[in-house]
Chains A and B, each alone.
Chain A
């Protein structure tokens, strides 16, 4: 056990820090499109976009440990994301690298790395959210084309995407629902596709319903073999999965929460002097550290070449609980000002906590609800019988 970095790891960390010192000034306007575009160009030149991908396809070929260091340092400085095509980098790219034809790789991977346009993911359906494997959006082969009919929902950024990676059912199998699922890559401007944004409880619209009405997709846009779609989409490359970047963002929120407690008064004294408030903040801090230490243990497993199983469900569950509870607590300690939002004179920190208290479902529900994570932990780790 040695929690310090090796000289090589330290050298890489210093390289990342030097890059950040040079290219991300303290007062950089992270909302300025010009700044962000320039930032992404510089990251791309360093091959830090798609850092975990093999060098042959244009990735960075970074080791697991380097990925962790890069993400942690970036998150610590609140840097803009590593690459601007989030869904492409997370879902589409890894699947194409693993299952795509040579032509598909050449056609899509460089654009994903450059962030040339956005991708969205057509997975969930109105009747098949947590039970994704039972999806019913149908594709029928007609000559050199698939004809798609059905509906997807909770499709993040569908209205701004040029392409969608789509899971469709090409055949029915009573014994194994995962059979008969096929993966298609579809241009969003194909006739027959309709996008209807869904307003969320925070008032924004990040996700949408997507309808498919006799949408014709050429066979060469199928990713992997027919019926292989489930396997295609659960592909994970040798990704760093410690959750270290999420820990950094929670840590930043925790520090802000401490400052909020110091400037908020309760009974005429700073809330940070109240034993109950102190205990609750210390609990958050401890749980964030637990998440970090869990992540480091999983990272070590990966580095030692041991298979990583359902451990990420542990990280996801802890993060979900922290996101919900921290936002809620921050609003609670503001007393009567708690319900006020940006624009109200008495709203603390420009209403950031109220946003957090209303936007957690994005990370808590997205990618599997806490109850689904608990099922996974109980069944795959503790060996309890399946539901």
Chain B
């Protein structure tokens, strides 16, 4: 039994943190995400992180990646979450996960190398409405057309819709659920980026107006089960960013509580400040533990993965929502200003909470899987 990270994973963590602290501190996060008309990420940094191997972390070596697993990905995403790093990295790594779950060797060979080297930007287009993605909620129809399909309809709440060049799109093929890869420049594709509270995370709409997908772009038709596995991996990836960001918010607030003097003493001396911070810390610790176990189970013990993924997402996103609010509140009036950073975490928590199912959704899943 060993429930800790390897030396390589610790090294990965410290390298990622070092890079982001140097290249994308919060001033830079703001500059990138607040840029007028920007796509919400920096193409220069994107190129660099591709060279550092972050984008190909879970891409098999034969396709130009490092061939690592979910636990390694969690380490990377925790750190990008901690830094509130604005980029389509999460979306791209989820597209990679979808291709690995559902794609044939040929399909992986076709798309994974460009996702690994950063020339393509991926996004899983799993939702059509504001409800969590489940197989039942996939209604976009693929009409058979020769050996392929014609897709007509729209996907909404698509991560990084404005930046992505390659989408994984579930659709109905008769009574079956199938998945296809749709590229941005295909005929009939149009995209719309939506404004949101969290400037570091973008959502939007993917409209498919008679988009033809050939048989080579239809990912192995394994129906509902593969869809749920993709969503579980997406949920775990998202949860890693949640946990990292929540940790970042706790550190920021604890540091403020050590510096800010009121009534002649740092406010962190008062239990009214100290105790909420302790609770925030405990929530982050517990979120981490649930997340790490879920990540391990996704690769090594798939039967128990759904239960633990749901526990991790439910617990972490609920905790983060509270932490986001408390972080602002414990800063006092300056927490309400645009200038101080606390609100960045609050906004991230609002973005993350509903993604791939909120706590209500996941706790219900835990109840059902637990025999209730």
Contacts and interface: CB of A to CB of B under 8 A. Distances in A.
Given A314-B285, A318-B282, A387-B269, A300 B274 contact: no
Interface string A1-39: 111111001000000000000000000000000000000
Interface string B345-372: 0000000000000001001101100111
Nearest to A275: B364
A385 B258 contact: yes
In this complex, the member of B1, B292, B360 whose beta carbon has the largest number of chain A beta carbons within 10 angstroms is: B1
B125 interface: no
Contacts of A317: 278, 282
Contacts of B367: 278-279, 281-282, 285
Nearest to A65: B1
Interface stretch (B2-10, B177-185, B225-233): B2-10
A377 B301 CA distance: 33
Contacts of B222: none
B98 to A, nearest CB: 23
B3 A297 contact: yes
A282 B1 CA distance: 26
A258 B254 contact: no
Interface string B276-302: 011101100111111011001100110
B271 A286 contact: no
Contact of B71 (A1, A285, A314, A387): A1
Contacts of A279: 360, 363-364, 367
Contact of B257 (A304, A314, A384): A384
Interface string B35-68: 0000000000000000000000000000000000
- By size class, the interface of chain B is 35 or more
B275 interface: yes
B1 A300 contact: yes
Tell me what chain A mostly uses at the interface: helix, strand, loop, or mixed: helix
B308 interface: yes
B282 A314 contact: yes
A293 B293 contact: yes
20 contacts: A1-B6, A3-B293, A261-B372, A272-B372, A278-B364, A282-B363, A282-B364, A282-B372, A285-B367, A285-B370, A294-B285, A296-B3, A299-B1, A317-B278, A373-B278, A374-B274, A375-B271, A377-B278, A378-B281, A382-B250
Given A282-B364, A387-B274, 15 more contacts: A1-B71, A1-B292, A5-B1, A278-B367, A286-B315, A287-B286, A290-B311, A296-B1, A371-B271, A375-B278, A378-B268, A378-B277, A378-B278, A385-B265, A387-B271
